[in-house]
Structure 1
Amino acid sequence: MELHIFSHGYGQITYHIVLVPKYRYNIFYNKHIKKDCELILINICAKNGYKIHAMEVVDNHVHLFLEFHPSSSLSKVIQYLKGGSSYRLFRLHPDLKNQYWGGSLWSNGKFYRSVGNVTADTIKHYIKESQGKTSEESQLHRFVRSEQRRLDDF
């Protein structure tokens, strides 16, 4: 994954998101519902400009590894995914309404974790080492200490 240039910034926003059906029912055990869910999520992501790095629909939950524009909030992304997929799955599979009589397919909760190419320790180390130093000092420090680092160094 690479960093992207935006109108007023440079960076990357990627998240591991897990969507869980209410009551953890194994609704995706049904191959038709599983395939429709995959296609619907792909469609929602394409329509909204989200990039899917990975997706896995298992019997009772969905894993998504998404990248999206910084102007999109995580809450809105999850709202579009859950709301859009719920509406379309109920229309394609009306029998799901018998199982989910309350009208909502997904549980109220959500799991998300930001994902990047560096670890938290790497960022802490970078901030600690760059504070109060000119760029020449930082370059010199990096050049002088070019040997392999051990985990203890962080």
Structure 2
Amino acid sequence: MELNSFSHGYGQITYHLVLVPKYRYNIFYNKRIKKDCELIFNNICNEQGYKIHALEIVDDHVHLFVEFHPSNSLSEVVQYLKGGSSYRLFKLHPELKKRYWGGSLWSSGKFYRSVGNVTADTIKHYIKESQKKSKAESKSSKSMKPGQRIIEDF
């Protein structure tokens, strides 16, 4: 994975997402539903400009490793994935409506974790080092407010 240049920024937004069907039913044991779900997620991501790095569908949940543009929020991405896949799977497999009579295929929750090429320790070190440089510059200015703390205080 690499960093991307955008109109006003440079970076990468990737997430590991886990989506679970409502009531954690094992609907993906059905190979046809599983394959259709995989195709639907690929289509949604292509339509929305998301990039799937990995996709795994097991009997009772879905793992997605997805990258998207910084103008999209995580909530928006999950909404497109869950809403779009639910709608399309119900159209392709009307028998699912018997099990999910309320109209919702996915549980209301989600698991998400941002994924990147650096560790938390690397970021802490970077911030600490940049703080030392600016600390030396700002000692003469004494512009800190009473009670204000620096990163090293934590």
Q: TM-score, normalised by structure 2?
A: 0.85
Give 1:130 deviation, angstroms.
2.1
Task: Say if 2:13 is the partner of 1:4.
Answer: no
RMSD in angstroms over aligned alpha carbons? 0.8
Aligned residue for 2:58? 58
Aligned residues: 134
1: CA distance, partners of 2:47 / 2:35? 18
> How many Å apart are 1:133 and its aligned residue?
1.9
Find the aligned partners of 1:34 and 1:131 in 2 and give their Cα distance.
50
* Residues in 2 aligned to 1:121 and 1:132: alpha-carbon distance in whole angstroms: 17
**Which SS does the other structure have where 2:133 is aligned?**
coil
Asked if 1:26 corresponds to 2:22, the answer is no
3-state SS in 2 of match to 1:107: coil
Of all paired residues, the percent bearing the same amino acid is 83
The aligned residue for residue 72 of structure 1 is 72
- Partner of 1:100 in structure 2? 100
**Alpha-carbon distance in structure 1 between the residues aligned to 2:51 and 2:103:** 28
- Partner SS for 1:133: helix
Question: How do residues 82-93 of structure 1 correspond to structure 2 at under 5 angstroms?
Answer: 82-93=82-93
Give the Cα separation in 2 of the matches to 1:130 and 1:84. Answer: 44
Q: 1:113 matched to which residue of 2?
A: 113
Q: Shift of residue 132 of structure 1? A: 3.5
Superposed displacement of residue 129, structure 1: 1.6
Q: What are the ranges of 5 or more consecutive residues in structure 2 without an aligned counterpart?
A: 135-154
**1:17 alignment partner AA:** L
Distance 2:4 2:94 in 1: 41
TM-score normalised over the length of structure 1: 0.85
Displaced runs of 4 or more, over 2 A:
none
- The CA distance in 1 between the partners of 2:51 and 2:59, in whole Å, is 23
Equivalent position amino acid for 2:28 in 1: F
